[in-house]
């Protein structure tokens, strides 16, 4: 175990904590930008520090392909290679099984991919994934899990859940740096509460430094989504971090935090930036729209980021899709938005005003009071009264 997790404040299930990792002391709830290939697209590490980024995600599958984990190791680890002084987390490569499924063949041994770079077969076993992650050197590493889409039904889900438990034992055995890197287990089981429960108990038995809730954010309906998160956060240990993988939209992060989750990652803020969409309190702002041509306001007048302080919507409208600078400015703003959301979640919980923060957030996003039913149901379970923001 190479971390310390100290809860600093609570509101019912929600908690604000300090997560002390080898490279950085983080405050949760927190959002982790995704830097798949050893960089957040278009932003320097200086800028990431500037906006308050605490942990960045790197991807085992992609980094193993290029520049290879051996090269990264030889040059002193990913922190040194990309010159990022704060915390890093690497995914196991499991998600690629789902996202690149037409290239993958899953057996008990591991996952065989057809490399998209040169077509050669690449076998990713639990042992190999951990070895690669040991070489990369992130503060948190993820166990290789057997991921299935939540939109699938049938025995494959159960098979994947049990295999995930067997693979976590292989990951634990292969892990050579437990005092420098924290191995998180991932709860699978699809949308089936019985399977999820078995998986949670199996992982908790292994006494890992932290736990992730996997297999979600893949197209399932929102009602099923929050129920799985609620079930898992209720069953996972209080004193260890809980990471909901692949989440996501600001609204989803607020709901999951209310239900007791601590960490999130998603490509959404940076990806949507590259399509010209900015994150704002009201939801999204599409900078490509003709309405932006003459709009001399900043993206978000309430935002304190460098982009909102220096550039107008009209200017960004000109750049968007025509110049990389457009993507960079929007990525910068969108990440600032997500990290500010993280800071607000943490401080509102610590300062005892979490319900007010949630209501304010929902009011801005749903000014007509049309808060989605799944959010109302989830907040009910989280014990947060949002009746003031709901018109119905």
- If we measure between CA atoms, which residue out of 20, 135, 1, 37 comes closest to residue 86? 20
Query: Does the protein bind another protein through residue 38 (CB under 8 A)?
Result: yes
Distance CA 377, CA 22 (A): 38
Active site residue 192: no
Cβ proximity to another protein, 10 vs 271, nearer residue: 271
Stretch that binds another protein, among 78-86, 185-193, 314-322, 348-356 (CB under 8 A): 78-86
Q: Is 83 in the site for another protein (CB under 8 A)?
A: yes
Cα gap 333→24, rounded to integer Å: 23
The answer to whether 174 and 122 have CB atoms below 8 angstroms apart is: no
Which two structure tokens, joined as six digits, stand for 319? Answer: 């750049």
At 124, phi and psi to the nearest 5? -110, 105
- Distance from the first to the final alpha carbon of the chain: 48
387 Cβ contact list (under 8 Å, min separation 6): none
Q: Which of 139, 145, 146, 265 is catalytic?
A: 265
Question: In the complex, what is the shortest distance from the CB of residue 283 to another protein, in angstroms, rounded to a whole number?
Answer: 27
> Of the two residues 38 and 189, which places its CB atom closer to another protein in the complex?
38
Determine, following the binding rule CB under 8 A, whether residue 67 of this chain makes contact with another protein.
Answer: yes
246 lies in the site for another protein, by CB under 8 A = no
> Least separation, in Å, of the C-beta of 21 and another protein?
22
From the list 20-28, 33-41, 198-206, 230-238, the region that binds another protein by CB under 8 A is 33-41
CA–CA dist 369, 108 (Å, integer): 49
Question: Quick check: 271 binds another protein (CB under 8 A)?
Answer: no
Active-site annotation holds for 360:
no
Q: How far is the CB of 323 from another protein (least distance, A)?
A: 11
Whether 131 contacts 166, CB under 8 Å:
no
What angle (nearest 5°) sits at the alpha carbon of residue 261, between those of residues 222 and 54? 115
Q: How far is the CB of 331 from another protein (least distance, A)?
A: 10
Nearer to another protein, 39 or 114 (CB): 39
Least distance to another protein, CB of residue 302, Å? 28
Can you tell me which of 42, 185, 189, 214 binds another protein, judged by CB under 8 A? 42
Contact between 56 and 335 (Cβ < 8 Å): no
3-class state of residue 352 by DSSP: coil
Binding site for another protein (CB under 8 A): 37-46, 62, 66-67, 71, 74-76, 81-83, 324, 327-328
Q: Which residues are catalytic?
A: 91, 265
């Amino acid at each position: 175990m190479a971390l310390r997790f100290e809860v600093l404040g609570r509101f019912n299930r929600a908690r604000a904590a300090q997560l002390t990792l080898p490279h950085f002391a983080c405050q949760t709830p927190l959002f982790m930008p995704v830097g798949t290939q050893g960089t957040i697209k278009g932003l320097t590490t200086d800028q990431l520090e500037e906006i308050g980024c605490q942990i960045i995600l790197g991807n085992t599958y992609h980094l193993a392909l290029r520049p290879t984990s051996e090269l990264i190791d030889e040059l002193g680890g990913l922190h040194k290679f990309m010159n990022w002084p704060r915390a890093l987390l690497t995914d196991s490569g499991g998600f690629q099984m789902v996202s690149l499924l037409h290239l993958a063949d899953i057996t008990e041994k591991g996952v065989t991919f057809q490399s998209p770079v040169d077509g050669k077969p690449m076998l990713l076993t639990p042992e190999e994934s951990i070895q690669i992650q040991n070489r990369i050197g992130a503060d948190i590493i993820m166990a290789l899990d057997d991921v299935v889409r939540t939109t699938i039904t049938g025995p494959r889900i159960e098979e994947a859940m049990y295999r995930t438990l067997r693979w976590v034992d292989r990951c634990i055995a292969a892990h050579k740096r437990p005092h420098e890197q924290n191995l998180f287990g991932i709860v699978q089981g699809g949308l089936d509460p019985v399977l999820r429960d078995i998986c949670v108990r199996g992982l908790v038995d292994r006494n890992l430094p932290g736990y992730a809730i996997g297999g979600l954010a893949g197209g399932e309906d929102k009602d099923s989504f929050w129920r799985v998160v609620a079930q898992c956060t209720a069953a996972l240990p209080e004193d260890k971090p809980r990471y909901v993988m692949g989440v996501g939209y600001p609204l989803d992060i607020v709901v999951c935090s209310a239900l007791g989750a601590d960490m999130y990652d998603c490509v959404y803020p940076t990806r949507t930036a590259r399509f010209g969409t900015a994150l704002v309190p009201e939801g999204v702002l599409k900078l490509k729209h003709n309405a932006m041509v003459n709009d001399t306001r900043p993206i978000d007048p309430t935002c304190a980021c460098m982009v909102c302080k220096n550039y107008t919507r009209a200017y960004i409208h000109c750049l968007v899709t025509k110049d990389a600078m457009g993507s960079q400015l929007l990525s910068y703003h969108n990440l600032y938005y997500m990290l500010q959301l993280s800071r607000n979640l943490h401080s509102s919980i610590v300062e005892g005003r979490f319900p007010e923060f949630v209501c304010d957030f929902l009011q801005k996003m749903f000014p007509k009071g049309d808060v989605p039913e799944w959010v109302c149901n989830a907040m009910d379970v989280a014990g947060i009264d949002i009746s003031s923001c709901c018109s119905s």
